Amino acid sequence: MQRKAIVTIVCGERYQQLWKRFSFPGWQKYAVRHGYELVVLEQPLDLTARGENRSIAWQKLLVAGNPHVAKFDVMVWLDADIVVNHWLAPCIASSLTSDRVGIAEETRLPGDLFSEMTKENDRFWTSTLARVGVPHPLDPYRRYGFAEPAACYFNSGVMVIRPALHRELLEHVYNAYEDKGPLLNYEQIPLSYELATSGRYELIDPKYNVLWLQLLISFGYPHRLQSPSMLSGRAAFLARLLSRVYFLHFAGAQHIMPDVALLDIDREPVALKLDVARATLAKEMAEAARVMS
């Protein structure tokens, strides 16, 4: 029997609060259901000046060498801003057919749910932004400094890793590349480049890493901090979305995670908590009326 772990790093009070309240409950139930141990690291693994001067996101490349993690046959890395549908999601490790790193493409949405939306995203990037010289997100490699782009680009928020097989590759990326800031997605571009050019990856079902930001692009960015959760229909949409995907990733939109408090994620399908939803709606309507008066 495989020894399996779900691993994350949660540093900083804000992220710890978000993770504990909105992510942990679903992760714990998913781990019990599918036989994973949950490993939560609360400190960076690289405490040198180099480690401290780069984003915490780079630390995921070191977890395979952590003594506690290294004992597992397979580990699933999850960014802390992911909400899991523990009722619906199958075992992600069992979905792989090879010993390669399991990972999803950055801009892909589940085709059975969002086929037209995915096409619209592609049209948006390749036409509108191309005319004004903004780089396509599928060509981040030249922006980072690579001479030629790789064939595909991944999101590293969800990865299935075999520590014994993949530790060397991940640590190579950590040691060979530098943090060029948030606009270049920290470790994600060099990791994608190394995986894509070496062929050491297997694409996982995009339902395991549905990026909220990709949906925002299609909806015209309804994610302003002042957007009300109920009046915008956002919470109701979240309920329907979480009933159809496995892992929902709030990267770049963590301020929307509190909307999860309006949902009953311990039932299938996910539904609004009607009493909480009504109270929230009444509060937002009163605030809207005050602003308009």
**pLDDT tens digits along 223-244:** 444 555 655 577 888 888 999 9
- Share above pLDDT 90 across residues of the chain, in percent, rounded to a whole number: 57
User: Is residue 284 within 8 Å of 228, Cβ to Cβ?
Assistant: yes
Round to the nearest angstrom and report the end-to-end CA distance of the chain. Answer: 65
Q: Prior bond to 90 cis, omega within 30? A: no
What pLDDT shows up at residue 223?
44
Residue 45 clears pLDDT 80, i.e. is over it: yes
What pLDDT shows up at residue 126?
67
Ordered DSSP codes for 252-273? T-GGGGGGGGGEETTSSS-EE-
Dihedrals phi, psi of 154, to nearest 5 degrees? -110, 160
194-210 pLDDT, tens digit per residue, is: 999 999 999 999 999 99
What pLDDT shows up at residue 252?
79
What is the pLDDT averaged over residues 20-30?
96
What is the pLDDT averaged over residues 83-99?
97
Distance, CA of 43 to CA of 55 (rounded, Å): 13
Q: Which residues pair with 159 in a beta bridge?
A: 77, 103
Every domain of the chain and the residues it spans:
4-220
Place of tokens 């710890």: 16
pLDDT tier for residue 279 given thresholds of 50, 70 and 90: confident
CATH tag, 4-220: 3.90.550.10
pTM of structure: 0.89
pLDDT tier for residue 154 given thresholds of 50, 70 and 90: very high
Residue 129 clears pLDDT 60, i.e. is over it: no
52-90 pLDDT, tens digit per residue, is: 999 999 999 999 999 999 999 999 999 999 999 999 999
Residue 110 clears pLDDT 90, i.e. is over it: no
What pLDDT shows up at residue 136?
56
